Amino acid sequence: MNWFSRMRGPTEPGGAPLPDNALVIDVRSPGEYASGHVQGAINLPLNRFEQEIGRVAPDKSVPVMMYCLSGGRSGGACQLMQQLGYRQVVNGGSVGAVALKLNRPIERA
């Protein structure tokens, strides 16, 4: 079982540890990000996502976990990344769910 299949498992409290080279991307607006984001997350709003993902994640083999408020926007970003050739992409859902899965605090800017 790989890291991404373990992260999807709803019965696994805390989830699997995030690989060292993985990226956590928050696709919410800068204001939403400032109001509370997972420690270490990169803010890449959905309206700039397609234009900037290549700069933020140039290596398409690096694991990426994305989140937003509820998982809807991050789900769309996951689909886009898969269409662009990224191989290890997972929708973490909401900011709270990702913070719990990764055992990281929520920071405010």
The first and second tokens of residue 96, run together, are 């709270």
Is residue 85 within 8 A of residue 11, CB to CB? The reply is: no
Catalogue the active-site residues. 68
- Give the burial string for 85-95 (b: 16+ CB within 10 Å, else e): ebebbbbbbeb
